[in-house]
Chains A and B, each alone.
Chain A
Amino acid sequence: METIIPSTSKVLSSLLRADFTTQWRNRRAVIMVILVPVIILISWKGLIEKFGGAFALSNCITVGLTAIGLMGYSNSVARDRDKGVFQRLRVAPVPSWSIMTSRLIVQLALIVIMILAVFFAGYKYDHISLGRSAYIMSILASFIGGAMYLGLGQAIVGMITNPETVSSTSRLVYFFFIMIGLFGAFGALGETLGQIVRWSPYGVVAHILSSSMHPESWDGEATKALALAFAYTALFSTLGIRWFKWNTAK
């Protein structure tokens, strides 16, 4: 009797349905991911006047991307790995890449929802509106930034196997990035630290987002930030994939 292998589309659609359902049932965490950048944006009125709408939007989206990559993705992967969810899937006729692809597609959908929520809040409460090409460019830039933070999340679960340690590490990195990133962006950390923050993972994502909201003023600095974002993504993803273990057994 001939063995029939399930098609990739069938496997992916089954995994996606399950992963989206799982995400939906965790909607309290999803709401937090979306609410934090929206609340920062709404309560940022004075700074919008001082730094401009694009600056506020780009920093808020960066905060959301950081939360998705570090708090959402890495913790869910660490938990499912620890519980043996991945091992059960991997003994089925499922290519390993499809398990992770499904997870990443769900995160990309979450990124889109978060961006739209931030744009909507910016328009509704702060009257920040961008041109059509600026919206498209900033969504593309958000995907690049999202990929970088998902890569960082992957690097954390690649290097750390214990889910509690992953959780505490990702929270620590999240708060460090947010605090240092925002204060650095305000110029509150001095010239030297400000430069470090500017070219840090937080800084480059905020930079390309901010520049994509003014596509006409895209300059060499923005291109440098974009190149660095790709380099960070490649570095984090390589580390995360290279060291990733599908189970926590020693």
Chain B
Amino acid sequence: MDNLIQGAILAVEDLNIRYGNIQAVRGVSFSVHPGEIFGLLGPNGAGKTSTLSAIEGLLKPESGKIRVSGYDIREKPLHARANIGVQLQSTSFQPELHVGEIIRLYAGIYNVSMSNEQIGEVLASINLADSSTKKFGQLSGGQQQRVSLAIALIHTPRLVLLDEPTSGLDPQSRRKLWERMEKLREKGRGIILTTHSMEEAESVCDRIAIIDQGKIIVTGIPQEIIDNNRNNAEVIRASRKGKITLEDVFIGLTGDAVRA
């Protein structure tokens, strides 16, 4: 673990999160490095969103350490958050504000000076050049995701957190988003991605961690995880077409019971 933490943009060590009597996250540790897309996979209620919420500083863990760009999220929360770009699962902005006004607001609170022309350039870069005066609620799901991602990147953060960013997107929009993630990786950003799509995890993630019942049960490169579990009886049983896929490994390791 020590080797992995060195040089990491995000280091999570022995994270424990509890809601009353429920232990949502148990001893989770992982790290994300510059130029890496790290996927956090797990069934519903596995602890993915709780882990991300702790990294974002939205909830206080029972124990454990989280460091973003070297800043402890509990000791220096504003410094840590200034290094994170976040796209939340259910992001919403003030419905009365226009898209251009929302970008101006977030540019301001991330300390980025932006002229009207620069706001126009940001919108043009996400193919929404003519949407500056539209309200956020008037945009389609895919357009909202693009705006949300543009805002997450407005301050060129070192770490980008994407919480199920492609859910509800059509294949074209999803591919575009994958391309954007890959461009961010090329620029040396660290990306942590939660997703229910194994295809997505296999396509874009450099490393993944599968989390279940609050614990990380496996971490590694997607293909290595497939290869290492190829002969696991549960994985073989989960296989549908003979060829073992990441989804088969995921179901084999986490079980086929539908989670609430």
Interface residues of A (CB under 8 A from B): 3-7, 10-11, 13-15, 17-18, 21-22, 25-26, 80, 83-85, 87-95, 246-247
Q: Which residue of B lies closest to A82 (CB)?
A: B92
Q: Is the CB of B108 within 8 A of A88?
A: no
Q: Is the CB of B92 within 8 A of A5?
A: no
Partner of A85, one of B56, B94, B107: B94
| Chain A CB within 8 A of B58 CB | yes
Partner of B88, one of A3, A18, A87: A87
Nearest CB in chain B: distance from A89 CB, A: 7
Q: Is the CB of A18 within 8 A of B71?
A: no
Q: Is the CB of B78 within 8 A of A90?
A: no
| Chain A CB within 8 A of B91 CB | yes
Please report the C-alpha to C-alpha distance between residue A246 and residue B91 in the assembled complex, in whole angstroms. Answer: 14
Residues of B close to A26: CB separation below 8 A: 96
Residues A5 and B97 in contact in the complex (CB < 8 Å), given A10-B108, A91-B57, A91-B88? no
Partner of B105, one of A15, A25, A83, A247: A15
Query: Which secondary structure characterizes the binding site on chain A?
Result: helix
Interface residues of B (CB under 8 A from A): 56-58, 69, 71, 78-79, 81-84, 86, 88, 90-97, 101-102, 104-111
Q: Is the CB of B94 within 8 A of A6?
A: no
A-B contact pairs, 11 of them (CB 8 A): A4-B111, A6-B82, A7-B111, A17-B105, A17-B108, A18-B97, A21-B101, A22-B97, A85-B92, A88-B88, A93-B110
Q: Is the CB of A91 within 8 A of B56?
A: yes
Q: Is the CB of A6 within 8 A of B88?
A: no
Q: Is the CB of A10 within 8 A of B105?
A: no
Residues of A close to B79: CB separation below 8 A: 3, 5, 93
Q: Is the CB of A18 within 8 A of B101?
A: yes
Residues of B close to A88: CB separation below 8 A: 86, 88, 91-93
Q: Which residue of B lies closest to A247 (CB)?
A: B58
Q: Is the CB of A11 within 8 A of B97?
A: no
Residues A21 and B110 in contact in the complex (CB < 8 Å), given A3-B71, A88-B91, A93-B78? no
Please report the C-alpha to C-alpha distance between residue A247 and residue B81 in the assembled complex, in whole angstroms. Answer: 18
Please report the C-alpha to C-alpha distance between residue A82 and residue B50 in the assembled complex, in whole angstroms. Answer: 18
Beyond A7-B111, A83-B92, 14 extra complex contacts between A and B, CB < 8 Å? A6-B82, A6-B108, A6-B109, A14-B105, A17-B104, A18-B105, A22-B97, A84-B91, A87-B58, A88-B86, A88-B92, A92-B109, A93-B109, A247-B58
Residues A84 and B109 in contact in the complex (CB < 8 Å), given A18-B94, A22-B96, A91-B57? no
Please report the C-alpha to C-alpha distance between residue A3 and residue B81 in the assembled complex, in whole angstroms. Answer: 10
Please report the C-alpha to C-alpha distance between residue A10 and residue B78 in the assembled complex, in whole angstroms. Answer: 14
Please report the C-alpha to C-alpha distance between residue A93 and residue B96 in the assembled complex, in whole angstroms. Answer: 23
Residues of B close to A89: CB separation below 8 A: 109
Q: Is the CB of A92 within 8 A of B81?
A: yes
Q: Which residue of A lies closest to B107 (CB)?
A: A14
Residues of A close to B104: CB separation below 8 A: 14, 17
Residues A13 and B108 in contact in the complex (CB < 8 Å), given A18-B101, A91-B84? yes
Please report the C-alpha to C-alpha distance between residue A83 and residue B102 in the assembled complex, in whole angstroms. Answer: 15
Q: Is the CB of B94 within 8 A of A22?
A: yes
Q: Which residue of A lies closest to B161 (CB)?
A: A91
Residues of A close to B108: CB separation below 8 A: 6, 10-11, 13-15, 17
Please report the C-alpha to C-alpha distance between residue A182 and residue B169 in the assembled complex, in whole angstroms. Answer: 55
Residues of A close to B109: CB separation below 8 A: 6, 10-11, 14-15, 89, 92-94
Nearest CB in chain A: distance from B33 CB, A: 16
